[in-house]
């Protein structure tokens, strides 16, 4: 993709800075395997609680995916939720690491498996890791629906 911006007389090869792109199309994740194999799917249609998503990831219990960002991105937005069957008492922790440090932990509840809107700042971040602890409360996986990543605008 080549675009020309008339106001700045800039030519962009690939995506433009500040443009939001599907994470699934912009970056290839590094996969790690902890216990259960990571099921990393680029899916045509992903469903969480009846809502369809154009693209996303599905990760099994114990899975880890990591993205090398190289400080090129501003933010990540996505819906995170449960796919499959899960016990209503289940609590599924999803840990988010930025540059190897725990940034936040989200708890997905079997009793309320509606997708959560997530927005993460990525300014100055080299790597992003999403890690799921093992659980055994049903046959559910965690889905990341329509993950959009925004490129940094150069100063």
Q: Which of 133, 131, 135 has its CA nearest to residue 67?
A: 131
CA distance 27 to 134: 26
Instruction: Please name the helix (run of DSSP H) or strand (run of DSSP E) that holds residue 136, with its range, or none.
Output: none
- Phi and psi angles of residue 29, each rounded to the nearest 5 degrees, phi first: -80, 150
pLDDT, residue 124, reads: 94
pLDDT tens readout for residues 14-31 = 555 566 777 777 776 776
pLDDT tens readout for residues 94-136 = 999 999 999 999 988 877 778 899 999 999 999 999 988 776 6
Instruction: Please name the helix (run of DSSP H) or strand (run of DSSP E) that holds residue 24, with its range, or none.
Output: helix 23-26
Residue 10's SS3 state is strand
pLDDT tens readout for residues 19-66 = 677 777 777 677 655 433 344 455 556 778 778 887 788 887 778 888
Residue 3 has pLDDT above 70, yes or no: no
CA distance 147 to 119: 10
pTM: 0.75
CA distance 118 to 71: 20
């Amino acid at each position: 993709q080549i675009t020309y911006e008339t106001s700045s007389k800039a030519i962009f090869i690939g995506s433009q800075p500040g443009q939001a792109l599907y994470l699934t199309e912009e970056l290839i994740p590094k996969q790690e395997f902890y216990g259960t194999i990571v099921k990393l799917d680029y899916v045509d249609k992903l469903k969480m609680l009846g809502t369809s998503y154009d693209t996303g990831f599905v990760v099994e219990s114990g899975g880890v995916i990591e993205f090398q960002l190289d400080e090129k991105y501003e933010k990540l937005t996505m819906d995170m939720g449960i796919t499959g069957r899960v016990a209503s008492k289940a609590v599924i922790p999803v840990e988010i690491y930025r540059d190897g440090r725990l940034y936040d932990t989200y708890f997905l509840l079997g009793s309320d498996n509606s997708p959560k809107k997530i927005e993460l700042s990525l300014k100055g971040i080299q790597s992003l890791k999403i890690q799921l602890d093992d659980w055994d409360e049903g046959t559910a996986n965690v889905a990341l629906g329509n993950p959009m990543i925004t490129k940094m605008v150069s100063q």
